[in-house]
Every structure is written in structure tokens, then in C-alpha cells.
Amino acid sequence: MNVDVKPAGACRVNISVKADSSETGAEYKNVLNTYLREGQIKGFRKGRAPMEKVLHIFGADINRETETRLCRKMYPEALKQAEIKLVRVRDIVNVQFSPETGLNFTLVADIEPEVRAPKYKGIAVKPQEAAVTDEEVDSYIERIRAAFAKFENAEDEYAISRNDLVCIDYAGTIDGKPVKEVVPEAERISEAQDFWFQVEESQFIPEIVDELIGLRSGEEKTIKFKFSKTHPIEKLHGCKAVYEVKVKSIRQQICPNDDELCKQAQQESLEDFRANVRKRMLQSAREAEEERRKDTVAAHLLRKASFDLPESELADSVNNVLDQMLRRAQYHGMKKEEITAHKDRFLQDATKRATDQLRLSYIMQAIAGQEGIEASKDEIADKYAAMADEYSMKVEELRAKLAENDSSYVVEQQVVFDKTMEFLLQEAK
């Protein structure tokens, strides 16, 4: 079998394979004999038809079956002889077979890029001290206090404060027309009656939330504002709106005092609570600082290295990242219509993120190769244990799952990636 490899574009090759009749004859005879035994021909008992008759009726089928078997059998050996770093076989084309001349076909394959690692020792990573201020601790505790809050019907003279629950009627217009007529995607915020929400900036429309502070039950207000450029519905950006709002009911937020808070949070005292919060926040700050340093290294490497990526591998990575982003958006309450309205932005973000992740992976492999960084059996076993714990699975289940998807190599790759990043951080200045 002769194998010839020729470039066919970025990270792609055509592998031409030729096998003469001496290499294909045995398989052809096997298929022919099967048809001689099993072929049904009118006027002949099964297995009794002469070869000439079988070839006349089934010749094309015999050739196709032989062709299929030979391609399936020969292409792994062809890939081995080609000595390429295979990512994926994209197609088998130009297949030609005859019993007299043998078999020709071409494999279209995506291959790994040739990556030249940029200068990676002494990357500038200015350390920042991980610290937690008293104000940050206080803010965290107040958020916990709010989480344990109760809501009680307010007195008639009570004025709305931050974090209260309010019930309102509202109707919005843009240029005198209902919001939903101007921007159909905004129907949900065009008008409503008996609409309940909590008075905080992340809820409803921030410009309306701000104007509700200080109103009492039964009061009405005309609120004029311009939709911000950060509003989720892009068609509303910069639109001047007028909303008529009536407060129907208020439920006042009642937060626990210090003793009640400590009891509900299972803390001995407010001082102990503050100390425990500071400890957790400091640990998070240290982890965030570690991630920042890693991000700095990654950004440097991505800026300094330029190479193409295998089309099929990048497409898979984009799909995986996009799926994760959409799942996260749904988990955080984004509606399907909102996701659809922003599909182009999601795809753009997913493509950028997937491209950076894949490029960084190849760069780190190149660095690991130059530095001789490898994953030991014990390190791989430890990684399996950590991943199994993260996913609440048994190690054996995780191994079986990854093996089922031909993804076992991912664990070793992650160990090498982590060790290489640790090496780069140690070499940073």
C-alpha cells in the first residue's frame, strides 16, 4: 500500500492511498465467494449458479462491498503510515476499485497545528495582595441578614424602601404608543397589573425602581426616562419612555437583629460570625488572585502566538461552549425569547472563548513538550479522584463514562496543563 500526504489548507491534509490487486485480491475473493454461496438467481439453486452469471448480476454489488471493506480495513494503516497528528478524518473521497487494478482512495483529515511556543519564561505577572476590608465583611453580613428577612404588610403611611416587596400597576409608552407596539420583544415590560417585585436594582426596570423609593400605597407617579444601553433588549437602547405607575400594596422588609441573625446562621456571636466570614472571603480572594495570575499568563501567551486551528475541533469546541453558555443563561432566568434575540451575541462570545481555550491548550502542550512536563500515574489517579468528588460520582463510574466517550485522554491533558501553568507561574516575574 502506497501512502502520499499533501497539504489541503490550514490544519488539513489529503492522504492518497493506493493498493494494487495483489493486496486487494483476497478481500475481493471473500466477497465473491459469499455471493457465490448466498446469491439468489432465478433458475438456479442457491450456491449453484456459475461464476459468470453471479458476476453479471451482482458484479457491481460485489465491487462496492469489497470497496467498503477495504477502505474500512486499510484507512487505519494508512493513517499510521502517514505519520500525522490526527484530529479527525473528515471524509473519504475519490474511491475507485476494480479486481484488476486494486483500490485507490483519498482521506481528508484535520491535523494538529504546528505550534511554536512563544517566550514563556519571565512573563510579567505583578502580584496583588489578597485582602478583605471591614466594609466588605459588613456588606456580606448584611446580605446574609437580608436573606433571612421576613416581609410584613406595611402600614398605610409607610414609604417604600430598598428591598421591600411592592405590587404595582404600570403601563409604558414610547412616542405615545405602547412599548410593545414599538418593540414587540418588550411585551413583558410594556404593561401589567398587580405586578409584584422586590425593590432592588437588579429587578424589573432600574429607572422605575429608583423612582418608587419614598412612595406610599395608593400613590401614582409618571416616570420619564431613557432606556440604558445596557438593557437586555437592544432595540430599546436610548428610547425615551413614559411609564404611569400606581403603587397597590407594600410588604415591608423586616431584617433580623444581631442575636436573631447569629442564631439563624448558627454562629456563637456576631464577632465569631465576622471572623468566619472574613476567613472564607480571604480564601476566595486568594483563589481569585490565583485565577488572575493564570489569566495574565494565558493572555500573554495568546498575544504572542499565532497559528491556525483544525476546523472540526474548533467547531466542536464552539458548540460545547455555546451549550454551556445557554444552559447558564437559562439557569439564571433568561427567557427563551431573550436568548433567541441575542443568539448572534451568544455565538460570537462562544466562538471567541472556544478559540482562546483551544489555542491556549495547544500552546501549553508545546511548552510541556519543550520542558518535558508529563503526568504520572499517581497524578492522573489523583485527578480522577478530584473530578469524581466534584461530580459526585465514583471513580470507576467516571472512568467508564470518559472511556465510553473516548475522552479518557482529557484527564491526563488537564494534569499536564495544570502542571505547565504552575511551572509558568513559578518562572514569572
Chain-centre distance for alpha carbon 76: 31
Are 409 and 275 members of one domain? Answer: yes
Terminal alpha carbon distance of the chain: 54
* Digitized pLDDT (tens) for each residue of the chain, 429 residues in all: 999 999 999 999 999 999 999 999 999 999 999 999 988 888 888 888 899 999 999 999 999 999 999 999 999 999 999 999 999 999 999 999 999 999 999 999 999 999 999 999 999 998 899 999 999 999 999 999 999 999 999 998 999 999 999 999 999 999 999 999 999 999 999 999 999 999 987 778 889 999 999 999 999 999 999 999 988 899 999 999 999 999 999 999 999 999 999 999 999 999 999 999 999 999 999 999 999 999 999 999 999 999 999 999 999 999 999 999 999 999 888 888 888 888 999 999 999 999 999 999 999 999 999 999 999 999 999 999 999 999 899 999 999 989 888 888 899 999 999 999 999 999 998
pTM, two decimals, is 0.75
**pLDDT, position 127:** 86
The answer to whether residues 344 and 248 belong to one domain is: no
pLDDT the model gives residue 339: 87
Residues 12 and 52 in one domain: yes
Same domain, 412 and 342: yes
Residue 395 is assigned to a structural domain of this protein: yes
pLDDT tens-digit series, residues 133-163: 999 999 999 999 999 999 999 998 999 999 9
**304 found inside a domain:** yes
- Residue 7 lies inside a defined structural domain of this protein: yes
Angle 134-147/270-304 helices, nearest 10 degrees? Answer: 110
Please state, in angstroms and rounded to a whole number, the distance separating the CA atoms of residues 321 and 353. 7
Burial zone of 95 (CB within 10 Å; 0-12 exposed, 13-18 middle, 19+ buried): middle
Residues 414 and 287 in one domain: yes
Tell me: do 418 and 281 sit in the same domain: yes
| Residues 407, 283 within the same domain | yes
- pLDDT at position 204 is 84
Mark which of 62, 94, 111 sits at the end of a domain. Answer: 111
With CA atoms as reference, report the closest residue to 312 among 30, 20, 86.
86
Name the packing angle between helices 409-427 and 270-304 (round to 10°).
Answer: 90
Tell me which of 254, 282, 304 is where a domain ends.
Answer: 254
Picking from 194, 223, 254, the residue at the C-terminal end of a domain is: 254
Q: What is the domain range of residue 338?
A: 271-427
Residue 133 lies in a domain: no
Residue 52 sits in a domain whose CATH number is 3.30.70.1050
CA 284 from centroid of its chain's CA atoms: 23
Residues of the chain by 3-state class (helix, strand, coil), percent to 5: 50, 20, 30
Count of structural domains within the chain: 3
Strands (E), 216-321: 220-226, 240-254
C-alpha cell at 251: 410588604
Q: What are phi and psi of 221, to 5 degrees?
A: -155, 140
CATH number of domain containing 186:
3.10.50.40
**13: nearest Cα among 250, 224, 311:** 311
CA atoms within 13 A on the CB side of 69: 17
Digit-coded pLDDT (tens) for 344-353: 999 999 999 9
